[in-house]
């Protein structure tokens, strides 16, 4: 390759790969500015030059790779924000502009992912793609509750954990077995229970070690993408889905590193309040669940249960509290048992399930439903039109804007660690963790702290 192949000119000026990444970051990384057609074309020209630099063998520093990753995450957020803001009431011209903008953003996200795959391909092992694809498929078909739910003390019976609705029912049976014999309290479910069989304890330890983290999923997605470069076996839609999964997982990995830099014991910072402590804890929790006793609460409760039970491939991500019509229809066809369970829970109501139920999944959904009703307020029909929890609660299937009050307490779940983390942002934008608690009891405490 000639020197001109690794240095790329624009208006008579030559730029190295490092400089091109910086230019791309300036043109496309600012989420506050509208991503117009002119901005897209300018960013596209930089992407082409950066592609040529990478194909010419020019290396990128770790800092430039991180900058390229951050631009991809920012463009993905723009894409989701534009998609979520589209309304059936918009005029034809507005819809056409939004659709054009979505297509431009989709292509830009995909191109940045391809560039990162090019970087990865140069250092990745050639035979790693098949194994990574298998693990990605496993992740996409594993319901969120299967990751978060406490592990059963009993060995799984043969046939449990099958795919489809039977798999979801298998998880339900496991949870039920544990609750009958598990002690109450804030410990990590059966994982830390005394008196467990030694072999079962080892098995649970391996189950924890084998849980896929957001970093694992991001690495596998990048490996699969790198393995597919130069092949014709993948379809355009699959590449788009892989790019979106990669950037979302990387964003989750970054957030986890900030909020939980290392595995630690549960803690609550000194001086943290849990509401009016003169009122018994049980009454405070019941009052929150009673807020979900309405028609809107029933809809939220039903979709909250489904969001935990259905695979991420089907649930996807959304900004609102309720599932989309297409997702609900597909769930009714392929996951009838999960849909029936969610319907039964919703018809029973938050208060009844909370007081009489024993299933942690159902009680978790009841408490979160009450919290959603208490927080998601403002305007007409806030349940359908506002961001879920007004951006203050982060769950695997929500992609919302940050809350307008930057100092407000926020709640996020780290699924692989089963940690519920309450935090707020400091003056410089860095997070200050208020509490990090595990399991169902930890979730209850976290909600009380949120509403203090």
**So what's the pLDDT on residue 291?**
94
**Distances from the Cα of 427 to the Cα of 96, 227, 422, angstroms:** 40, 43, 17
**So what's the pLDDT on residue 87?**
63
**So what's the pLDDT on residue 388?**
93
Residue among 188, 182, 177, 369 at smallest CA distance from 266:
188
**So what's the pLDDT on residue 7?**
43
List per-block mean pLDDT (blocks of 10 residues) for the chain, which spans 452 residues.
41 72 78 69 85 83 88 86 68 74 84 88 65 84 84 51 43 40 37 44 49 85 83 67 89 88 81 80 94 94 96 90 93 94 96 94 96 90 90 92 85 91 87 92 94 83
**So what's the pLDDT on residue 53?**
85
Q: How far is it, in rounded angstroms, from Cα 431 to Cα 433?
A: 6
Q: Is the pTM of this model over 0.85?
A: no
**So what's the pLDDT on residue 89?**
58
Phi, psi of 420 (to 5 degrees): -105, 120
**Distances from the Cα of 202 to the Cα of 192, 193, 205, 206, angstroms:** 11, 13, 5, 6
SS (H, E, C) 227-246: HHCCCCCCCHHHHHHHHHHH
Q: How far is it, in rounded angstroms, from Cα 43 to Cα 25?
A: 9
**So what's the pLDDT on residue 191?**
41
User: Could you tell me the maximum CA-CA distance found in the chain, to the nearest angstrom?
Assistant: 76
Q: Are 151 and 129 in contact (CB under 8 A)?
A: no
Residue among 301, 381, 304, 305 at smallest CA distance from 347:
301
End-to-end Cα spacing for the chain: 64
**So what's the pLDDT on residue 372?**
95
């Amino acid at each position: 390759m000639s020197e001109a192949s690794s240095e790329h000119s624009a208006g008579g000026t030559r730029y190295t790969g490092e400089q091109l990444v910086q230019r791309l970051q300036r043109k496309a990384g600012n989420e506050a500015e509208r991503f117009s057609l002119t901005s897209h074309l300018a960013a596209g020209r930089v992407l082409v030059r950066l592609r040529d630099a990478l194909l010419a063998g020019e290396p990128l520093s770790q800092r430039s790779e991180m900058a390229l990753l951050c631009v991809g995450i920012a463009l993905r957020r723009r894409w989701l924000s534009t998609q979520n803001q589209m309304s059936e009431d918009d005029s034809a011209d507005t819809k056409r502009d939004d659709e054009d903008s979505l297509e431009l953003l989709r292509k830009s996200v995909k191109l940045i992912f391809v560039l990162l795959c090019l970087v990865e391909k140069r250092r990745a092992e050639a035979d790693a793609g098949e194994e990574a694809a298998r693990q990605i498929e496993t992740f996409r078909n594993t319901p969120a509750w299967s990751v978060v739910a406490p592990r059963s003390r009993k060995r799984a019976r043969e046939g449990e954990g099958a795919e489809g609705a039977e798999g979801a029912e298998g998880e339900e049976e496991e949870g039920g077995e544990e609750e009958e014999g598990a002690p109450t309290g804030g410990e990590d479910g059966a994982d830390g229970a005394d008196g467990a069989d030694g072999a079962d304890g080892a098995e649970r330890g391996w189950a924890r070690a084998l849980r896929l983290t957001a970093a694992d999923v991001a690495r596998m997605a990048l490996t699969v993408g790198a393995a597919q470069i130069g092949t014709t076996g993948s379809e355009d839609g699959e590449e788009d889905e892989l790019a979106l999964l990669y950037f979302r997982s990387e964003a989750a990995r970054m957030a986890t590193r900030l909020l939980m830099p290392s595995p630690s014991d549960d803690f609550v910072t000194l001086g943290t309040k849990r509401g009016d402590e003169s009122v018994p804890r049980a009454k405070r929790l019941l009052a929150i669940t009673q807020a979900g006793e309405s028609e809107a609460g029933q809809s939220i409760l039903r979709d909250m249960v489904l969001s935990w039970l259905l695979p991420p491939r089907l649930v996807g991500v959304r900004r609102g509290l309720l599932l989309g019509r297409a997702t609900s229809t597909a769930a009714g066809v392929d996951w009838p048992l999960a849909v029936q369970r969610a319907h039964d829970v919703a018809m029973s109501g938050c208060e009844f399930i909370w007081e009489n139920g024993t299933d942690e999944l159902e009680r978790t959904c009841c408490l979160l439903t009450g919290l959603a009703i208490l927080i998601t307020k403002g305007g007409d029909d806030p349940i359908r039109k506002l961001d879920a929890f007004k951006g203050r609660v982060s769950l695997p299937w929500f992609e919302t804007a940050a809350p307008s009050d930057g100092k407000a307490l926020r709640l996020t779940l780290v699924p692989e660690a089963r940690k519920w983390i309450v935090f707020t942002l400091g003056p410089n934008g860095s997070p200050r963790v208020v509490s990090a608690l595990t399991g169902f009891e930890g979730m209850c405490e976290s909600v009380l702290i949120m509403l203090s």
